[in-house]
Structure 1
Amino acid sequence: MRIITGKARGLHLNVPKNYDVRPTADRVKESLFNIIGAKIVGSAVLDLFAGSGNLGLESWSRGARFVQFVDNSRTSLKLTDSNIVKCRAEADCKVLKCDAEAAVELLYKQGQRFELIFVDPPYNKGWIQKILAKLVKCPLLADNGWLIAEHSMHDDIVGAVPEGYEIFRSQQYGETVLSFLRKSA
């Protein structure tokens, strides 16, 4: 697993030693960031279910001004922390050990807003649906912001998209689907 481009291009990230964390495959990540394009530059990014920090650090490398990582696993956060240090990104990154739903509420109460939110939870556990419901009550997504959900093709999120949001793009890569959501006008 590596940073594809930007400030930390080619840097190999520390990876989990077990299967508790499922890092986004390089080809899926490359396609994801090709779709996002220049939208990443100068943005605030929330990486929920951070795992190794792969998506947030790729965002930072490509020009995000700030990345907030959230995970509930101490092991994942140690991995994320080590990768932040490896990228020398400490000044632009924060790490929060917290349940994802509680983190959305906490960050909202702190007045934070994000142009990009990555939601990459364990597959088929209903997490994306829970996060979408929480975002209705605690709107962390900035106007014109995007939420990118990585999920299994068996995890139907279409019916869970709350009023005020729309899926404007969906890409499938084998078992993995990337769903791009934004607030509807």
Structure 2
Amino acid sequence: MTRRRSSPRSRPRPGAGPPKGSGRLRIIGGEFRRRLLPVLDSPGLRPTPDRVRETLFNWLATTTPGARVLDLFAGTGALGLEALSRGAREALFVERDGLVARALEDNLRTLGASERGRLRQADALAFLAAGPADADAFSLVFLDPPFRQGLAEPCCERLERGWLAAEAWIYLETETTLEARVPASWTLHREVRAGDSTGRLYRRLATSGD
């Protein structure tokens, strides 16, 4: 997951090449523990704070191993990479920005996680609207849309169109001033606040149609 703002990213000048790394993402636990990965110098792009990630994965300690993960609006891929480090079976990262997506792909290769971590360069809302390509639904989803663009609720609604396992876990991060409406089948499990954002972890309850 990556903290974003509503302002658009500045576009690189022609021939300027990829943005230089401006920081480091630290993997907190698991197989890749303490590994440091570069983060691009791109407006609005920075990893979720270590404290929030540690709290979240403590909640998910028994859920992450073997999980099939979907990381939407992936950015640096901080949460998806942490999930892979902690034993997730596979992770699909969805990121629209080409430079950011390539940097994430490079980090997957650096970790030797390219076989378990796949990247899709696409707009997350359009990606969800297209529907899942196979019947193997996701058991763990990270959803961190850009703030103040009205994306949280439509993404939540579209996840219910075949993307989620019967009892999936969904982590949604939004600006603290927004309490997004989520599907009736989702129950709030825990929440964490950091600065101007609030993360909420939901558990989806199986329905008769699942």
TM-score (norm 2): 0.81
Shift of 1:109: 3.7
Q: After superposition, what is the alpha-carbon deviation per residue over 1:33-82, rounded to whole angstroms, capped at 9, x for unaligned?
A: 11111210011000001101111111000000100000111022012101
> In structure 2, what is the equivalent of residue 150 of structure 1?
173
* SS of 2:58 mapped into structure 1: helix
After TM superposition, the structure 1 stretch with the greater mean CA deviation from structure 2, 120-129 or 32-41, is 120-129
Matches of residues 101-116 of structure 1 in structure 2 within 5 Å?
101-106=125-130, 108-116=132-140
The one of 16, 19, 37 equivalent to 2:43 is 19
Q: After superposition, what is the alpha-carbon deviation per residue over 1:117-155, rounded to whole angstroms, capped at 9, x for unaligned?
A: 00012122222111012123x131112210101121012
Shift of 1:107: 5.2
Cα distance in 2 for partners of 1:168, 1:52 equals 25
The one of 87, 97, 108 equivalent to 1:84 is 108
**Matched AA of 2:165:** A
The percentage of aligned residue pairs carrying the same residue is 33
Shift of 1:29: 0.9
Unaligned ranges ≥5, structure 2? 1-24
Matches of residues 45-124 of structure 1 in structure 2 within 5 Å?
45-106=69-130, 108-124=132-148
The one of 104, 111, 126 equivalent to 2:150 is 126
Q: 1:107 to 1:76 in 2, by over 3 A?
A: farther
Q: How many residues align?
A: 182
TM-score (norm 1): 0.91
Cα distance in 2 for partners of 1:105, 1:85 equals 29
After TM superposition, the structure 1 stretch with the greater mean CA deviation from structure 2, 8-17 or 163-172, is 163-172
The one of 56, 62, 68 equivalent to 1:44 is 68
Question: Highest Rg: 1 or 2?
Answer: 2
After TM superposition, the structure 1 stretch with the greater mean CA deviation from structure 2, 50-59 or 98-107, is 98-107
**Matched AA of 1:10:** R
Structure (1 or 2) with the greater helix fraction: 1
- Once superposed, what is the RMSD of the aligned Cα atoms? 1.5
